[in-house]
Amino acid sequence: MTKNLELNNYLVSTMQKIFDPIPVPLILLDRNTQIIMINDIFANYLGYEKSYIIGKKVQDVDKYSRFPYVFQTKKSEIAWKHKFENGHTGIVHRIPILDENGEVDYGFGMVLFQDMEQFRDIIEKNKLLETEIKHYRNRLRELSGAKYSWENIISRSIIMNEIKSMGRKASMTSSNVLILGESGTGKELFAHSIHNDSRRHLDPFVKVNCAAIPEELLESELFGYVDGAFTGAKKGGKIGKFQLANKGSIFLDEIGDMPLNMQSKLLRVLQEREIERIGSNKTQNIDIRVIAATNKRLEELVEEGKFREDLYYRLNVMSIEIPPLRKRIDDIESLSKLLLKKISKQLGKYVNEISHEAMDYLKSHDWPGNVRELENILERAVNLTDNNRILTRHLSNYITKTKKEITIGPVKSIKEIIEKAERKAIIEALTYTKGNKLKASNLLKISRSNLYDKIERYNISV
């Protein structure tokens, strides 16, 4: 008995030594709400000598104490506003400590904020920090997030409009998306737009070019690593792209070039929805949407054993195939106009017109490099022209060398077919009448002024 008492006294005095230097008001009660321990700062706060308080029931020191109630409910009260008997108002925690039978053994209390001013100060600072974080998040999103949306994707052809509307549908779902198409067809534009139009648009959009990162670095890029994971690892470790993209979307460009071993790891992420940093055995849950793109024929890669079939099916939940530019020549004119605007802005040189003949050449080219190639051709032409107009001579030789009749594209608009036929008929009539416009207009059965208008509109040199 004496031994137990001695032990108890020893424990209490040791704990008191620990309690006292802590600059936060702390209190410990026994199961009868009797104060076993209180630190100096709390005793001062209550306005009593510590020796006077110890051994008293808590409600005798502060008649508003809710500890008797907490002992009944056995439920902690965290961050409660409390007005003490002496008039102070603070924010407090009251925690019942239960024994193995679930009965209250002790009660632990602390004053988190000693007055409401202090509390309001912290809340204000917190709000300020939140605003700052929001600001930097927005800046980060502007710098590294999704930059493009549907308005940036020019589409006049029926086929492209349909594909855009499929893209819009894909934005609405949370399924993975696979974007297929030749190089330069606008796969990346689609990936940005899908993210920007999805419910994840306020969260990160992280791009990884699977073909550009050496195989041995890809795993650490995607998964990150912990401090000291391997020789040469950065101090403090590295956050992987999966984690950076958490809650948002990860754009895996050139997925067809992902090495097989990484494909297995990606599949695990998609199945388990969790990742492990290299060198760590802790898993972290992640919530990401994968948007993958490739210019390779994935089915062929699957057949050749270069792409995992199960991963292919996981990614191919919604697939969008962007047709090459040569299959949608109706888009060339409007695309060129938009690209001219963009290039003019970049080069600080205003060019906004393309002669009819030059446009014909553009429409009859095969465009193996698709929109990217068109952009390059136009940039060169803008540099070469002396005014605001691009003529045939400003186009690269390889574009003007071969001009075939434009018959490609099953979805040419009626307007374009009529315009082409009209232009051809006017040229034939003018050639036949050796440039006599009156005779030509009679042959064509249109008025002379109408003929003049069309000559100007179709840019026909007489």
Ligand X SMILES: Nc1ncnc2c1ncn2[C@@H]1O[C@H](COP(=O)(O)OP(=O)(O)OP(=O)(O)O)[C@@H](O)[C@H]1O
Binding site for ligand X (CB under 6 A): 152-155, 181, 183-189, 253, 295, 335, 338, 371-372, 375
Q: Which of 60, 63, 55 is nearest to 28 (CA)?
A: 55
Cα–Cα distance measured from residue 302 to residue 310, given in angstroms and rounded to the nearest whole number: 9
Cα–Cα distance measured from residue 380 to residue 333, given in angstroms and rounded to the nearest whole number: 17
The distance of closest approach from Cβ of residue 179 to ligand X in the complex, given in angstroms and rounded to an integer, is 8
The distance of closest approach from Cβ of residue 129 to ligand X in the complex, given in angstroms and rounded to an integer, is 37
The distance of closest approach from Cβ of residue 108 to ligand X in the complex, given in angstroms and rounded to an integer, is 59
Cα–Cα distance measured from residue 84 to residue 12, given in angstroms and rounded to the nearest whole number: 26
How would you label 390-408 residue by residue, b for 16+ Cβ within 10 Å and e otherwise?
bbbebbeeebbeeeeeeee
The distance of closest approach from Cβ of residue 149 to ligand X in the complex, given in angstroms and rounded to an integer, is 12
Residue that has been written with the tokens 């802005």 in this structure = 345
Cα–Cα distance measured from residue 27 to residue 38, given in angstroms and rounded to the nearest whole number: 4
Cα–Cα distance measured from residue 382 to residue 353, given in angstroms and rounded to the nearest whole number: 10
- CB nearer ligand X, residue 198 or residue 220: 198
- CB nearer ligand X, residue 66 or residue 296: 296
Token readout for 124 is 């204000």
The distance of closest approach from Cβ of residue 192 to ligand X in the complex, given in angstroms and rounded to an integer, is 8
- CB nearer ligand X, residue 399 or residue 451: 399
Residue 289 CB-half CA count within 13 A: 27
The distance of closest approach from Cβ of residue 378 to ligand X in the complex, given in angstroms and rounded to an integer, is 11
The distance of closest approach from Cβ of residue 293 to ligand X in the complex, given in angstroms and rounded to an integer, is 6
- CB nearer ligand X, residue 30 or residue 333: 333
- CB nearer ligand X, residue 107 or residue 184: 184
The distance of closest approach from Cβ of residue 410 to ligand X in the complex, given in angstroms and rounded to an integer, is 19
Provide the phi-psi class of 360: left if phi over 0, else alpha when psi is between -120 and 50, else beta.
alpha
- CB nearer ligand X, residue 30 or residue 182: 182
- CB nearer ligand X, residue 90 or residue 186: 186
Residue that has been written with the tokens 């574009």 in this structure = 399
Q: Which residue is nearest to ligand X (CB)?
A: 186
The distance of closest approach from Cβ of residue 154 to ligand X in the complex, given in angstroms and rounded to an integer, is 4
- CB nearer ligand X, residue 67 or residue 367: 367
Token readout for 172 is 């609405």
Q: Which of 271, 270, 416, 214 is nearest to 334 (CA)?
A: 416
Provide the phi-psi class of 338: left if phi over 0, else alpha when psi is between -120 and 50, else beta.
alpha
**What residues contact 65, with CB distance under 8 A and at least 6 apart?**
33, 58, 59
- CB nearer ligand X, residue 42 or residue 150: 150
SS3 for 287? coil
Do 62 and 111 form a contact (C-beta atoms < 8 A)? Answer: no
- CB nearer ligand X, residue 28 or residue 218: 218
Do 339 and 373 form a contact (C-beta atoms < 8 A)? Answer: no
Could you tell me how far CA 326 lies from the centroid of its own chain?
Answer: 31
The distance of closest approach from Cβ of residue 286 to ligand X in the complex, given in angstroms and rounded to an integer, is 25
- What letter represents residue 82's amino acid? H
